[in-house]
């Protein structure tokens, strides 16, 4: 296998796991949060910024890169790593969620997904085989199968049909990518039905995949339902392979789902919220546009060692945001990504030390 997982330690008080994932472009420690670089960039950040923050693994999106600049162009540059000058590992999402979010522009069949581009209205078909071809061209370390992401809420029958389609598509992805030199993760669907998720895991777990993702959560369901389903699904997955919860979450979601047995996470929240002036700190949220920060000389977070907190005041960050200056977006994003990656490092250290039960995060 080109992607392997070492389980180093388990927490005696929860299902949390400490591990390492080995990929063609290096090793990263788990539990891990992957900053999202949808279009071959983590918005406003340079490679050197990401490395300084502690990132060793980022996420790209095959749907967006297929439409622009095109996966064949990326292939000509030697793949995403050389195209964007990123030395670490890259996971590419197949784009199933993004395609499904197009709503009436999408038609799903056994063949695949027909859709109109959100950029120019052009028509496209992505089959499971095509999804693999695109990701192989991108050269990611971990590819995701094409899945049908079930909307929420969904009836049992809708969730069942979607789950069964996802399993059939996963088998086609595996068949297409048999000679791959990178990893391939399957995706467990089944909406909020535990029995369907169990059936999905049973169908996928012996399919020769390098890891498993839990999809279809964090889509509007109550938080306790998400935690329960994440833990239930994770417990069914092979212990010797990584478990990835897609699109989740807030800091308290990360901590809760680590305790539920999840190893990998991604979410747009740190970068998107940064661009909207919503900042994560060790004492809670800071909405930097608020007038209370106009003359505030304090750093954004006294407990943070990022460049933003070491060099700039809240007053300056508010000025940049109110003035619409691009530098403000960069400094905000640098801080939020650092906050998330430092939180995961804290969780890993606590797992190592046996003190995970003592870790807390503010409500945001």
d(CA 360, CA 231): 19
Query: Which of 93, 141, 147, 210 is labelled catalytic?
Result: 93
Of 236, 72, 200, the C-alpha closest to 139 is 72
Q: 147 catalytic, yes or no?
A: no
Helix (H, G, I), strand (E, B) or coil at 30: strand
In the block, tokens 């797992």 appear at 351
Which residues lie closer than 8 Å to 290 by C-beta, 6 or more apart? 318
**What separation, in Å, do the N-terminal and C-terminal C-alpha atoms of the chain show?**
40
| Residue 159 contacts residue 108 (beta carbons within 8 Å) | no
Query: Which of 141, 253, 263, 266 is labelled catalytic?
Result: 266
Strand partners, 144: 185
Q: 93 catalytic, yes or no?
A: yes
Q: Where are the beta strands (DSSP E) in 94-141?
A: 106-108, 113-116, 123-126
Return the C-alpha torsion angle 51, 97, 190, 28, nearest 10: -10
d(CA 147, CA 293): 45
Please state, as a whole number, how many other Cβ atoms lie within 10 Å of the Cβ of residue 319. Answer: 16
State the alpha helices, DSSP H only, in 190-298: 194-204, 223-236, 251-259, 269-275
Of 50, 37, 96, the C-alpha closest to 268 is 37
d(CA 83, CA 100): 27
Helix (H, G, I), strand (E, B) or coil at 245: strand
For the annotated catalytic residues, the residue numbers are 93, 266
């Amino acid at each position: 296998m080109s992607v392997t997982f070492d389980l180093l330690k388990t927490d005696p008080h929860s299902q949390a796991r400490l591990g390492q994932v080995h990929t063609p472009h290096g090793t990263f420690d788990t539990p891990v949060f992957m900053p999202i670089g949808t279009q071959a960039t983590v918005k406003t950040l340079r490679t050197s910024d990401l490395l300084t923050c502690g990132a060793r693994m980022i996420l790209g999106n095959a749907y967006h890169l297929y439409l622009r600049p095109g996966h064949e162009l990326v292939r000509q540059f030697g793949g995403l790593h050389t195209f964007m000058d990123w030395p670490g590992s890259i996971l590419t999402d197949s784009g199933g969620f993004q395609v499904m979010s197009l709503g009436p522009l999408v038609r799903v069949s056994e063949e695949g997904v027909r859709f109109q581009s959100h950029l120019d209205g052009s028509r496209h078909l992505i089959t499971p085989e095509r999804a693999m071809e695109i990701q192989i061209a991108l050269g990611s370390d971990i590819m995701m199968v094409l899945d049908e992401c079930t909307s929420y809420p969904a009836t049992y029958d809708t969730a069942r049909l979607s789950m069964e389609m996802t399993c059939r598509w996963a088998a086609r992805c595996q068949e297409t990518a048999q000679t791959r030199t990178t990893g391939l993760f399957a995706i467990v669907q089944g909406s909020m039905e535990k029995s369907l998720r169990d059936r999905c895991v049973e169908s996928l777990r012996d399919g020769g995949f390098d890891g498993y993702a839990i999809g279809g959560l964090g889509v509007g369901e109550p938080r306790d339902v998400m935690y329960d389903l994440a833990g239930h699904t994770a417990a069914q997955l092979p212990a010797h392979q990584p478990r990835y919860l897609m699109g989740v979450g807030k800091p308290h979601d990360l901590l809760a789902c680590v305790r539920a047995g999840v190893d990998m996470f991604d979410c747009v929240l740190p970068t998107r919220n940064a661009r909207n002036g919503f900042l994560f700190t060790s004492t809670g949220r800071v909405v930097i546009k608020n007038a209370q920060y106009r003359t505030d000389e304090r750093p954004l977070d006294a407990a943070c060692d990022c460049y933003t907190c070491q060099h700039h005041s809240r007053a300056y960050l508010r000025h940049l945001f109110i003035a619409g200056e691009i530098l403000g977006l960069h400094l905000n994003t640098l801080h939020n990504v650092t906050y998330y990656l430092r939180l995961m490092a804290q969780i890993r250290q606590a797992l190592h030390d046996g003190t995970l039960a003592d870790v807390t995060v503010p409500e945001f």
